Amino acid sequence: MSFHIDATVRARNLDVSLSLGPAETVAILGPNGAGKSTLLSVAAGLLRPDAGSARLGERVLFNLDGGSRVWTPPHLRGTALLAQEPLLFPHLSVLDNVAFGPRSAGASRAQSRETARHWLAEVDVAQLAERKPGQLSGGQAQRVAVARALAASPELLLLDEPMSALDIHAAPHLRRLLKRVLSGHRALIITHDVLDALMLADRVIVMEKGTIVEEGATREVFRRPRSQFAAGLAGLNLLAGTVTEDGLRTFATAGGASLAGGASLHVAGHLDDEAEPGQPGVAAFPPSAVSVFLDAAHGSPRNSFPVAITDLEPHGDHIRVRAGDLAADITPAASAELGLEPGSRVYFVVKATAVQVYAA
């Protein structure tokens, strides 16, 4: 009983292969346009890929590679989709919305309403059963949408940023709810939120430009991110390159335009046990460990990166100084003293002991 999908959508540059075990929840992370929603649409049967195949347990969802092409329509797939917006049917009561799945599967009106009441109670909105969707708050509506998706007893639940349209009070509530109901369900959840991934997912997948760039157990990915996107979510600066005896030599383009000249440079850092010199690897360090100087600071064991500031933004009680993909957190007082502004050429300085180097 596992789910496997392998799909290519040329128009959207998607080429992905992934598997889910039974009762496993996987979070899909990635920047906008990475192809996350496209992947979900393909799995749900709303979008036909150019090539590939997918299987959910015994059921072939599609197979476009062999001689005999198979395409199972969405309603026969056992995959329920929960989108950013609840999309409750506006003309049906909350109860009938939730009863929609069981009713479509052939259950009687009474039976399907019974199932609906059960799931409404599961998501703590049993008292809203008789309301129309127009009378619900955003958070309530999304809970009902969760109940509706679960009432269809899907073998795979597809969640496309279910929390992103909710206000900051409703989101934690729904997150706790999802944590409870998703245990025991197989689910794919697209999210932009580290917290969602940490709380809900057993495993995360990072997608960029239509392909999977990183995958692994949630905690491991955030502890040692290997992709720029995951590092951003984990709040770490990340430089990619080749592992050396005492650190990492970056690729010439590492850090993009932020490193003045874009030249290859050496990063001194603490080598992880498994990192072997000569291997591809990454160097990670938190913005809080980075100091900003107007002049190059010399002397080992410190790293000094010449950068051009791209942005300054408030970050808690600090100022986050961004230079391309790199960031430094400094106090407002320090920022004022240095007279920083976008375009300023400065040095990001970080101690070697604050830099972790590990295999990519």
Partner 1 sequence: MNYSGIPRWVYGLAAVGGLFVLLPLAAMVAKINWAQFIPLVTSESSLTALGLSIRTSAASTALCVVFGIPLALVLARRPFRGQRLLRAFVLLPLVLPPVVGGIALLYTFGRQGLLGKSLELAGIQIAFSTTAVVLAQTFVGLPFLVVSLEGALRTAGNRYEAVAATLGARPTTILRRVTVPMVLPGLASGAVLSFARSLGEFGATLTFAGSLQGVTRTLPLEIYLQRETDADAAVALSLVLVAVAVIVVGLSYRRPHRADIPAEAAA
Residues forming contacts to partner 1 in the complex (CB under 8 A) are 44-46, 73-81, 83, 85-92, 100-101, 104-105, 132-134, 136-138, 141, 148-149, 152, 154, 158, 165
Nearer to partner 1, 133 or 225 (CB): 133
Q: Least distance from C-beta 87 to partner 1, angstroms? A: 5
Nearer to partner 1, 126 or 165 (CB): 165
Cα 36 from Cα 48, distance rounded (Å): 15
Asked if residues 54 and 5 have their Cβ atoms less than 8 Å apart, the reply is: yes
Nearer to partner 1, 155 or 246 (CB): 155
Q: Least distance from C-beta 151 to partner 1, angstroms? A: 8
Tokens (6 digits) for 153? 């007893």
Question: Helix, strand, or coil here: 327?
Answer: strand
Nearer to partner 1, 156 or 240 (CB): 156
Tokens (6 digits) for 70? 């198979």
Q: Least distance from C-beta 230 to partner 1, angstroms? A: 29
Neighbouring residues of 161: CB distance < 8 A, sequence distance ≥ 6: 83, 84, 190, 191, 192
Q: Tokens 């292969």 sit at which residue?
A: 17
Q: Least distance from C-beta 90 to partner 1, angstroms? A: 4
> DSSP readout, 133-185?
GGGS-HHHHHHHHHHHHHHT--SEEEEESTTTTS-TTHHHHHHHHHHHHHTTS
Q: Least distance from C-beta 306 to partner 1, angstroms? A: 49
Q: Least distance from C-beta 237 to partner 1, angstroms? A: 38
- As a whole number of Å, the CA-based R_g of the chain is 24
Asked if residues 206 and 218 have their Cβ atoms less than 8 Å apart, the reply is: no
Cα 16 from Cα 5, distance rounded (Å): 8
Alpha carbon 26 to chain centroid, angstroms: 9
Q: Least distance from C-beta 89 to partner 1, angstroms? A: 6
Nearer to partner 1, 153 or 291 (CB): 153
Nearer to partner 1, 80 or 330 (CB): 80
Nearer to partner 1, 80 or 283 (CB): 80
Cα 343 from Cα 308, distance rounded (Å): 6
